[in-house]
């Protein structure tokens, strides 16, 4: 496994649509393993192929996206490695509900975007061995799946943001993100 460079804002690769994966081979497995190492190092929730310069329809999400920071710290305190869900040639089948939340992106460090995404999704994809699977996800895992799937179509948080801010704008302890989103929704 090797850590890969994360493609940053301004690189045109982030705006291009990815091609389907056609070979489920050792090279694909190596890419997925590298993406896991890269994601862990970057402390993110998900990572898509184009974010590491690979224009294929592949992404990974942490299986425990829905854990709070405290729950994750407790679960992994003994050095246990997080589990990942690998999505190859994914397709979102159903969406339910709509939730406005702030989200960040490893390709846009320091930016947080208020984006409406489904509260629940059902997605179909293939695993690294080419076996199809279907997953029902909600809350942060659903958001992660939608976020990473958008990357495969060249869509980023900057394209979807109804409002965004840079970390420096709201770095004090007094700032309440939920309150800010509520104020934003009242204005809309």
- What is the distance between the alpha carbons of residues 66 and 138, in angstroms, rounded to a whole number? 8
Nearest partner of 28 among 161, 125, 141, judged by Cα: 125
Q: Which of 30, 80, 83, 148 is catalytic?
A: 148
For residue 80, give both structure tokens. 């246990």
**Is 148 assigned a catalytic role?**
yes
Nearest to 163 by CA among 127, 86, 120, 111: 111
Is the separation of the CB atoms in 92 and 123 below 8 Å? yes
> In sequence order, which residues have a C-beta less than 8 Å from that of residue 55 and are 6 or more positions away?
13, 16, 18, 19, 49
Strands lying side by side in the sheet with 120-126: 46-48, 58-62, 84-96, 120-126, 132-138
Catalytic machinery residues: 148
């Amino acid at each position: 496994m090797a850590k890969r460079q994360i493609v940053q804002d301004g690189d045109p690769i982030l705006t291009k649509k990815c091609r389907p994966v056609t070979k489920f081979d050792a090279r694909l497995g190596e890419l997925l393993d590298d993406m896991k190492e890269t994601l862990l190092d970057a402390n993110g929730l998900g990572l898509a192929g184009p974010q590491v310069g690979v224009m294929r329809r592949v992404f990974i999400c942490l299986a425990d996206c829905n854990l709070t920071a405290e729950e994750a710290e407790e679960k992994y305190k003994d050095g246990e490695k997080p589990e990942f869900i690998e999505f190859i040639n994914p397709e979102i089948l159903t969406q339910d509900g709509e939730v406005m939340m702030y989200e960040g992106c490893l390709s846009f460090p320091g930016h947080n975007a208020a984006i409406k995404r489904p509260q629940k999704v059902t997605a179909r994809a293939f695993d690294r061995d080419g076996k199809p699977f279907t997953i029902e996800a909600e809350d942060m895992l659903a958001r992660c799946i939608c976020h990473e799937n958008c990357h495969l179509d060249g869509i980023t948080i900057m394209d979807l943001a109804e409002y965004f801010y840079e970390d420096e704008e709201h770095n004090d302890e007094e700032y309440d993100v939920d309150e800010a989103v509520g104020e934003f929704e009242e204005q809309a």
